[in-house]
């Protein structure tokens, strides 16, 4: 693996692929909900349903994809998901040009994109762990986080301007093209990726598939490519090295079959790990309570308070400078204070800001209020996320990464979908402002999950961190 200076050429290709697709996504910020409001003239319940249905159905479809991805090479999966997202998004401008755009089509596109997002995330996490050594994971995740907020800062205002100049679907078209470029960047990664070994418990002999007479099970190592023939790989003459441990699966280059028990492995691992469990519960709840009121804030600002789409985009773009600040501070804070303290403090602070969004008013003062609340929230998130991502990767064995990340993503998206639908109903019964305030108040209780996690498992967490991530030496 060629690493050269910094994190290496292969990581730079992965980073470039992420950057271009992230920019396309941020350029088309809330494009589907905006199309629903501006072109199809739907109301708050339909906008919430659009956000909720795509996440819920997409997450349900993605459940078996985590184990499926686990036993396959990750880069072909990532390329396929990029192409799927490109095709789905391209259907929107085509339908709009033919005057055939409908709300059900937007729902279908959101489902396809959600499935591809979850699958891509699971594969990319495993790919990152393969390309980057453990001691550099905080730095790598910090670069992804900085890229996220850079594209979020630049994308929405440019996207709003593009929609004003060229029409409401141009950003969707650009987003589709960004996935093509992302696929090309992933394809350019040069390090050969071995087929993952099947490390699951072997099935009883009576249930195994028969092998042709005279063949042997293939023997593979973590760094060797399993051969497509059934023959045992020879050793050099006079070698004293033992044979590699035989793989569980029969000697074939085909990936192993998916088992029913594999579907729950990700959740089992997360819930049994004393450090990941509270982080999982906290992140799922916080993300849901931040994202569920987002369609309602769009309705409040654009539909009721009269802000233009470019003003709405600007209100969320300017505070993203906090993402650059937070992502740069994250690694330095970990070196000085340790991962656990950074997670607890930044995780607590990030829950304090969204309540302020309930008090947004008209005019420049309203925009300033949204920017200040978002600046505080984004800065804390940008400190928190790289440390969370690093702990999640370092505590998860390589042969479980895809399943664990899929379980994490599926749970998060299903929870966001459920709370988004619930908050849409709450806004219909009360007002969007009331629903936004309710989410902000509930967020204030979420740090309790982080504050309880240290005492019982302090030694175990510190030992795991010291062994897997030597930040002082990095």
What secondary structure, in 3-state letters, does the chain show?
Answer: CCCCCCCCHHHHHHHHHHHHHHHHHHHCCCHHHHHHHHCCCCCHHHHHHHHHHHHHHHHHHHCCHHHHHHCCCHHHHHHHHHHHHHHHHHHHHHHHHCCCCCHHHHHHHHHHHHHHHHHHHHHHHHHHHHHCCHHHHHHHHHHHHHHHHHHHHHHHHHHHHHHHHHCCCHHHHHHHHHHHHHHHHHHCCCCCCCCCCCCCCCCCHHHCCCCCCCCCCCECCCCCCCCCCCCCCCCCCCCCCCCCCECCCCCCCCCCCCCHHHHHHHHHHHHHCCCHHHHHHHHHHHHHHHHCCHHHHHHHHHHHCCCCHHHHHHHHHHHHHHHHHHHHHHHHHHHHHCHHHHHHHHHHHCCCCHHHHHHCCCHHHHHHHHHHHHHHHHHHHHHHHHHHHHHHHHCCCHHHHHHHHHHHHHHHHHHHHHHHHHHHHHHHHCCHHHHHHHHHHHHCCCCHHHHCCCHHHHHHHHHHHHHHCCCCCC
Please report the pLDDT score of residue 260 as a whole number: 53
pLDDT, averaged across the chain: 78
| Burial grade of 108 (CB within 10 A; 0-12, 13-18, 19 or more) | middle
Rounded to an integer, the average pLDDT of 223-244 is 39
Q: How confident is the model at residue 229 (pLDDT cuts 50, 70, 90)?
A: very low
Distance in angstroms (rounded) separating the CA atoms of residues 71 and 252: 13
Contact between 402 and 74 (Cβ < 8 Å): yes
pLDDT of residue 414: 83
Contacts of 115 (CB under 8 A, 6+ apart): 58, 61, 62, 65, 84
What confidence category does residue 255 fall into, taking pLDDT thresholds of 50, 70 and 90? low
Sign for the CA dihedral angle at 390, 391, 397, 400 comes to negative
Confidence of residue 256 (pLDDT cuts 50, 70, 90): low
What pLDDT score was predicted for residue 219? 36
In the chain, the percentage of residues whose pLDDT exceeds 90 is: 30
pLDDT of residue 84: 94
**Taking 90 as the threshold, does the pLDDT of residue 145 lie above it?**
no
User: Quick check: 152 and 26 in contact, CB under 8 A?
Assistant: yes
pLDDT at 236: 42
- Mean pLDDT calculated for residue range 410-437: 88
Does residue 251 register a pLDDT over 50? no
Q: Report the share of the chain in percent with pLDDT over 70.
A: 79
Query: How do residues 285-304 score in pLDDT, each as one tens digit?
Result: 999 999 889 888 988 998 88
The residue with greater pLDDT, 157 or 33, is 33
Question: Does the structure show a pLDDT above 50 at 247?
Answer: no
pLDDT at position 437 over 80:
yes
Residue 241 near residue 219, CB atoms below 8 Å = no
pLDDT of residue 452: 52
pLDDT band of 430, cuts 50, 70, 90: very high
The pLDDT of residue 69 is 83
pLDDT at 172 over 80: yes
- pLDDT score for 178: 93
- Predicted confidence band of residue 16 (pLDDT cuts 50, 70, 90): very high
Q: Is the pLDDT of residue 39 over 90?
A: no
Residue 448: what pLDDT? Answer: 92
What is the pLDDT, as a whole number, of residue 82?
94
Average pLDDT over residues 112-124: 88
Q: Rounded distance, CA 340 to CA 167, Å?
A: 47
Predicted confidence band at 199 (pLDDT cuts at 50, 70, 90)? low
For 299-353, the pLDDT digits (tens) are 899 888 888 877 887 888 788 889 889 988 988 899 899 888 999 999 999 999 9
Between residues 286 and 230, which one has the greater pLDDT?
286
Q: Name the packing angle between helices 363-394 and 137-166 (round to 10°).
A: 140
């Amino acid at each position: 693996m060629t690493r050269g200076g910094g994190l290496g050429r292969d990581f730079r290709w992965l980073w470039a692929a992420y950057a271009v697709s992230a920019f396309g996504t941020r350029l088309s910020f809330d494009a589907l909900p905006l199309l629903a409001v501006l072109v199809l003239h739907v109301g708050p319940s339909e906008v919430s349903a659009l956000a909720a249905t795509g996440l819920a159905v997409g997450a349900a479809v993605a459940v078996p994809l985590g184990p499926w991805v686990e036993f396959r090479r990750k880069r072909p999966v990532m390329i396929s998901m990029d192409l799927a997202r490109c095709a789905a998004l391209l259907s929107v401008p085509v339908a709009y040009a033919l005057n055939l755009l409908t709300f059900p089509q937007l729902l279908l596109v959101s489902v396809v994109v959600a499935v591809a997002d979850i699958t891509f995330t699971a594969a990319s996490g495993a790919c990152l762990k393969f390309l980057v050594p453990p001691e550099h994971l905080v730095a790598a995740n910090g670069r992804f986080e900085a890229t996220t907020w850079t594209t979020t800062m630049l994308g929405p205002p440019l996207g709003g301007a593009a929609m004003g100049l060229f029409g409401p679907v141009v950003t969707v078209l650009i987003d589709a093209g960004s996935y093509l470029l992302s696929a090309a960047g992933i394809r350019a990664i040069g390090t050969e990726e071995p087929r993952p070994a099947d490390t699951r418990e072997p099935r009883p002999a009576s249930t195994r598939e028969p092998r042709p007479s005279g063949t042997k099970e293939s023997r593979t190592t973590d760094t060797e490519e399993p051969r497509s023939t059934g023959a045992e790989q020879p050793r050099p003459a006079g070698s004293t090295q033992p044979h590699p441990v035989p793989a569980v699966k029969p000697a074939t280059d085909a990936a192993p079959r998916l088992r029913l028990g594999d579907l729950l492995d990700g959740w089992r691992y997360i819930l049994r790990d004393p450090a990941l469990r509270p982080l999982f519960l906290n992140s799922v709840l916080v993300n849901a309570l931040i994202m569920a009121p987002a369609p309602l804030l769009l309705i409040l600002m654009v539909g009721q308070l009269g802000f233009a789409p470019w003003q709405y985009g600007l209100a969320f773009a300017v505070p993203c400078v906090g993402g650059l600040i937070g992502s740069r501070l994250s690694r330095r804070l970990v070196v000085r204070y340790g991962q656990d303290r950074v997670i607890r403090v930044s995780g607590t602070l990030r829950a304090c800001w969204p309540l302020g969004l309930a008090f947004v008013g008209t005019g420049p003062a309203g925009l300033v209020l949204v920017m200040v609340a978002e600046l505080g929230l984004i800065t804390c998130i940008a400190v928190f996320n790289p440390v969370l991502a690093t702990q999640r990767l370092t505590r998860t064995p390589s042969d479980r990464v895809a399943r664990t990340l899929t379980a994490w993503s599926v749970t998060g998206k299903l929870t966001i979908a459920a709370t988004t639908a619930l908050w849409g109903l709450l806004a219909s019964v009360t007002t969007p402002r009331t629903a936004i305030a309710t989410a902000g108040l509930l967020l204030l209780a979420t740090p309790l999950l982080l504050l309880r996690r240290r005492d019982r498992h302090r030694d175990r967490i510190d030992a795991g961190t010291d062994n897997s991530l030597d930040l002082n030496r990095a």
